Amino acid sequence: MPTQLDEPGRIDDGPADSRPGGGRRLDEPGLGLHDITWTRVSAKLVWTDLIAAIVIGGVVTAGLVLIGVASGGTGGSAGLVWFVIAAIVAVIAIVTAALTPRRIRSIGYALRDDDLVLRRGLMWQRFTAVPYGRLQLVDVNRGPLDRVLGMSELKFVTAAASSNIRIPGIPAAQADELRDRLVELAESRRAGL
């Protein structure tokens, strides 16, 4: 089961005695997060996320404006409500687009001796440690825009039924190498169990 940090820096993996480091925070010296060299995802991922935010925000905003026009325009209170909702959606889309570059820069991963550690998040940082022995499948996905930009997404299936671990925006050649390396590490760790 992957170890997840839902509270910033705190491991949520069972009783304190059974946690790595005896329940100490992962960002304390001696547990390795200070010494990790993080590998960041491709900066091209910003473009795919920006396009998605702008297109979705624009379509929803335009749809709400059309509904507002159809329900009486600015003359009626029903139309005005739809325009206010459209403005709120537009502001949310703009803020999301503005924060996208920083959010993408916050995504990183590192291969440690016994696990893969994934970090993400600006305000709520989340660290996920996936022990190599728990990996059952490493899947490489490439959507149409990803193929154009030469990127891939790695998805992991672990022994935990509810795991949804993915690393987006990895350069295609690096993704294939990383997949092969993780499969090799997973097989060697499972053989030792």
142 close to 152: Cβ distance less than 8 angstroms: yes
Q: What is the pLDDT of residue 162?
A: 67
In this prediction the pTM is: 0.70
* Structural domain boundaries in the chain: 45-103, 108-193
Q: What is the pLDDT of residue 189?
A: 77
Residues 6+ apart with CB under 8 A from 126: 4, 5, 6, 119, 120
Q: What's the pLDDT score for residue 6?
A: 41
What is the mean pLDDT for each group of 10 consecutive residues in the chain (193 residues)? 41 40 46 71 91 94 92 73 93 94 92 88 87 87 90 86 82 90 85 59
Residue 30 to residue 8: CA distance in whole angstroms: 18
Residues with Cβ < 8 Å from 103, sequence gap 6 or more? 49, 120, 121, 122
- pLDDT, residue 15, reads 40
Class of domain 108-193: mainly beta
